[in-house]
Chain A
Amino acid sequence: MTDTILQATHLKKEFGGVIAVNNVSFDVLRGEIFAVIGPNGAGKTTLFNLISGAYTPTTGEIRFAGKPLDRARPHTRTKLGMARTFQNLRLFNNMSVLENVMVGRHARSRYGILEAALRLPTATREENAIRDAAMQCVARVGLAERANELVGNLSFGGQRLVEIARAVATEPKLLLLDEPGAGLTRHEVEGLDTLIHDLRRDGMTVILVEHNMELVMGIADRVMVLDYGQKIAEGTPPQIQQNKRVIAAYLGEEPFPALRMEAHDDATSS
């Protein structure tokens, strides 16, 4: 068994004439928390879309657990053990919290349209298993009491947690979190920090794209920095913070603003 869960080699994605991701190679080790940072427009979300299969790379290859993913569609990757959340929440607004997370169990259940229509015992049994597993994931992010509410009724931070619970319900080996801290209160970010650590302890590998440098530097084992689609650095948080190219890339944006105290955040927490 290899120690590398995800291996990207010479990844490139072109949109028309724009190269969003340019010749990026990296390895993610099993069980680590790997962060991808970079200024706006650096290609971080495009990279996530390549890994999760929303886009196919122009050139380059991605291997997951040793096997090339090629053009595997996203749902196949989910089945293989990959899950992601979205920068802009993409919840199923027509469903309750629990139902959203139950959709996450889709890849781990199999009864089809006929068993459902006739409500065969196999369907009923599986449906109960789906509900139980989903409920555990909902409880895990602390939303058990709101399981039956429509997701739209939850705060932004709550909805973020539903997305994470939904992703966790797919039983991923690799969890991709796209800016999980964006729009959260300081208090919520702390909870997120703990949650990500917990997930890793359960054996999940986590890749996160994040702007909140305090969160990234506190949580990541390794950090990769993208700028204009290119990889400009990779290393441990202390290495990255001292890297001249990284500081230059962030010039004018102030590289690690979140490392200072942000006391005002607490005022907005609910």
Chain B
Amino acid sequence: MQFSKRTNLIAFVALGIALAVIPNFLTNNYQISIMILIALYTILTVGLSLLMGYAGQISLGQAVFYGMGGYITAWITVKMGLPPLVGMLVAAIITGAFAYVVGIPMLRLRGNYLAMATLGLNVIFELVVLQETAWTGGPDGFQGIPKFSLGDLVFKTDREVYVLVWIIALIVIVLSLNIVNSRVGRALRAVHASEIAAEMNGVDTAHYKVAVLVLSAVYASIAGSLYAFWNGIISPSVYHLTFSIELVVMVAIGGLASVWGAIFGAAGVTLLAEFLRNVLPQLLRGASGEQEIIAFGVILILVMIFLPEGLTTGSLIRIRKWRADRASAK
């Protein structure tokens, strides 16, 4: 769903203010860490929303780009001793280049086949990360990643990281909203609606599909770098296929073709996951946190049946319709 520039601006300012105020109400590090995760997932889901929601190209392999961002950053900062900012930028460039190279053959596939190919990519990545212990640290993970810093400014505490990740998330949101409301955004939506018609109207569909994959990969890589700086250690379990699926769930729940929806999806699913992780074991004896994926499956099915446009977009459409009906009834 498209919003006017004014609506976007108001929503953006409101989000900025909310983010500035929220830390005052957070009493412990657990709560702040959840907010940091939401920021990281926002960066990921906004990219995936451009790819999936706007351009209509599904990816079940976003965790790969997230992981590449993390591991390359770790390698550059720990093994090569270069500054964190360099690590983050180089990781983004390499990950983007990688997405470009794998994207050209993969994006020739459509629908389920593309989903399978990206899923395969994720499986391969997991194996590589587990096996290539010399490079990645294997199952033990890659340790000793430094905190992010710009000169003397070090983002050490969780509250400082909160500021860093949300500033970057807000930048990603602005850039993405600008792209969506442009010639490029129209081209992406055209590819989604009818590839052949887009092509016949002068849109180089192959180019745009690869371009948006690269963009989503760069976003994912940046999020991956930020996660690595924050956590100090990265391990293969984070980049499991289920994380890629969770990201798709976030985008689908938020509303596919909606940057704002992606943010709500990221926040909603993250909060729900934490809730389930705390509550499920008490309800079901022997249930561990891993079973939250079952709940996600159920939620995804319900959303797809009853609100196929996603929670945010779907509800907005229904509210507008309800208002219009009421207005016409008068």
Give the B-binding residues of A (Cβ under 8 A): 52, 54, 73-75, 78-79, 83-84, 86, 90-95, 99, 102-109, 111-113, 116-119, 123, 126-127, 130, 166-167, 170
Q: Does the CB pair B194–A92 fall under 8 Å?
A: yes
Report the minimal beta-carbon distance from A124 to chain B, rounded to whole angstroms: 9
Q: How far is the CB of A200 from chain B (nearest CB, A)?
A: 21
Q: Are A104 and B197 in contact (CB under 8 A)?
A: no
Min distance, Cβ B13 to any Cβ of chain A, angstroms: 17
- The reply to whether A127 and B182 form a contact with Cβ atoms under 8 Å apart is yes
Query: What residues on B are CB-neighbors of A108 within 8 Å?
Result: 202
Interface residues of B (CB under 8 A from A): 175-176, 178-179, 182-187, 189-190, 192-194, 196-205, 211, 215, 257
| B215 nearest in chain A by CB position | A113
Task: Please tell me which one of the listed residues A93, A106, A166, A167 contacts residue B183 in the complex, with CB atoms under 8 A apart.
Answer: A106
A94 and B184 within 8 A (CB): no
Q: CB distance B178 to A84 under 8 Å? A: no
Most interface-central of A52, A92, A123, A166 (chain B CB within 10 A): A92
In the bound complex, do residue A99 and residue B186 qualify as a contact, i.e. CB atoms below 8 Å apart? yes
Taking a contact as CB atoms under 8 Å apart, the answer to whether A84 and B200 are in contact is yes
**Chain B hits for A83, CB < 8 A:** 200-201
Residues of A within 8 Å of B204, CB to CB, are 73, 75
A-B contact count (CB 8 A): 100
Partner of B202 from A79, A92, A113 at Cβ < 8 Å: A79
- Interface residue from B186, B189, B202 paired with A78 (Cβ < 8 Å): B202
CA separation between A170 and B203, bound complex, in Å? Answer: 11
Residue of chain A at shortest CB distance from B208: A113
The 4 closest A-B pairs by CB, nearest first: A107-B202, A116-B182, A78-B202, A90-B197
Contact A91 B201 (CB under 8 A): no
Question: B179 touching A86 by the CB < 8 A rule?
Answer: no
B199 surroundings in chain A (CB, below 8 A): 54, 73-75
| A54, A92, A111: the one within 8 Å of B193 (CB) | A92
Distance (whole angstroms) from the CB of B259 to the closest CB of chain A = 12
Contact status A103-B198, CB under 8 Å: yes
- What residues of chain A lie closer than 8 Å to B185, measured between beta carbons? 116
Q: Chain A residues near B202 (CB, 8 Å)?
A: 75, 78-79, 104, 106-108, 170
In angstroms, Cα B202 to Cα A108, docked, is: 8
Check A118 against B175 for contact (C-beta < 8 Å): yes
The answer to whether residues A119 and B178 also contact, given A52-B200, A83-B201, A130-B183 and a CB cut-off of 8 A, is yes
